[in-house]
Structure 1
Amino acid sequence: MATPYHFQSPRTILTKMLHMKQLPLPPPPPPPEPKLILQPRQRTSPAMWCAAIVCFAFSLLLIIAGAVILVVFLAVKPRAPSFDAANATLNAVYVGSPAYVNGDMTLVANVSNPNQKMDVVFRSAAVELFFGGRRMAAQALPPFAQRRGQSQIINVHMVSSQVVLPPELAVEMVNQMRSNRVVYTIRSTFKVQAKLWFWHYSYWMSALCDLELTAPPCGVLVARRCSTR
């Protein structure tokens, strides 16, 4: 006996189709896991090993040298020499017309080495005399050495010959001589070589001194202010 067919109405079919559309879709399948491709491990070449060893040894030497320099610096405590105007005499000053100046000054300088464990050598030295920013005279000094803790007196003869001054500076110099107070500036430059055992190093040192003297012919030093750099 044949199976009877069940006929459904169009409304029932439409209802079932709408119900199927409202059902959630199944989630998509997960993507396949990526496959890791392992590269073959490369061996370090002997040249790379040698370069690494050289760099490590150089870095170690730098660290050791820095530590040694630091220990020596803390033990020695190096200090720069000092320059001071111990005395000065203004022997003569003549202001001519037009504004030119002739002058004569004797400077007694005291140069000392404050280091207790280091000797110094002054390879070159120059002393300059200024008035109002204008250079009046210059004198070079011969090289000399100082042992640790030693001081030395140096006589410097500063002669000004036919130095042309601006009119305002010439008037200022005449007024200072009339007031019995003449102000000069001393600038000195030294090339110093410090010696510690087998180690030598050089540097430049400069000193600046402001001098106040009485008027010539027997001008004496009444005030000074010196600084060393």
Structure 2
Amino acid sequence: MTRHRTDRDRRTHPLIWCVAIICTLIAIIVIISGVVIFVGYLFFRPRMPTLSITYAHLYPFKYDQAGILYTHLTIVFRAENNNVRAEASFSEFEFELSFHGVKIARLLNHPFDMDKNSTRPVTYSVESDYIPLDPNQMVMVQQSLAQNRAEFRLTGHSRTWWRVGPIRSPKFWINLDCVLQFRIDDGSTTDSSHCIYKVK
């Protein structure tokens, strides 16, 4: 026997309508937000905030015959917002300082905001513990002392974004991979010091 479907059978459940309406509203909000950000970018032409190292100095670089290393450094980062119309923010600031694979310190900082067209120094005084070295690391230190050169590596990242009123850019990662080479006798950096800067 053939069964005829009634209007009641074909009626869509109210829950499905609610889900469809919510999804439509979310899609509209996403589209409008994208258009607002794009128009704001075209109008204000904001630049991405930057992060760099402007100063580094090596203080005592001590090593004894028992293979114990102690050192003390100053490192100064420079956060910069070159936008005359946009404010900026930095967060998730995290870097690691090492010496030939030996971890010296982890550098962290609280999130901070920046005014339009401003710079901010972020200064660290890094004092290591007394670090016991293995035989290979002891050889590296002895070579450094003989050459009057101590080479450290600084790697890490921070997140940043700009904002103009209610318009805010997506968050970007700034990654730094730096080689910091010092003259042991006076603690100054050499011309071999450099950083690889990447934004993603």
Please report the TM-score for the alignment, with normalisation by the length of structure 1.
0.65
Segments of structure 2 that go 5 or more residues without pairing to the other structure are: none
Is 1:93 equivalent to 2:91 in the alignment? no
Deviations 1:20-79 (A, max 9, x none): xxxxxxxxxxxxxxxxxxxx9x9896759x95x949954555544433333233334454
Measured after TM superposition, the shift of residue 112 of structure 1 is: 1.2
Q: Which amino acid aligns with 1:209?
A: C
CA RMSD, 1 decimal: 3.5
Greater strand content: 2
Segments of structure 1 that go 5 or more residues without pairing to the other structure are: 1-39
Identical-residue share of aligned pairs (%) = 19
Q: How does 1:55-94 map to 2 (within 5 A)?
A: 58=25, 62-94=30-62
Q: Which has the larger radius of gyration?
A: 1
Measured after TM superposition, the shift of residue 124 of structure 1 is: 4.7
Equivalent residue for 2:82?
Answer: 114
Q: Which amino acid aligns with 1:67?
A: V
Is 1:214 equivalent to 2:200 in the alignment? no
Question: In 2, Cα distance between the equivalents of 1:135 and 1:115?
Answer: 36
Question: In 2, Cα distance between the equivalents of 1:56 and 1:157?
Answer: 51
| Higher mean C-alpha displacement, 81-90 vs 109-118 | 109-118
- Matched residue pairs, number? 190
Question: In 2, Cα distance between the equivalents of 1:111 and 1:172?
Answer: 33
Measured after TM superposition, the shift of residue 94 of structure 1 is: 1.2
Measured after TM superposition, the shift of residue 132 of structure 1 is: 1.7
Is 1:138 equivalent to 2:106 in the alignment? yes
Question: In 2, Cα distance between the equivalents of 1:177 and 1:202?
Answer: 43
Deviations 1:55-112 (A, max 9, x none): 9954555544433333233334454432222222111111234433100111232221
Is 1:119–1:194's contact at 8 Å kept on the other side of the alignment?
A: yes
Please report the TM-score for the alignment, with normalisation by the length of structure 2.
0.72
Is 1:179 equivalent to 2:179 in the alignment? no
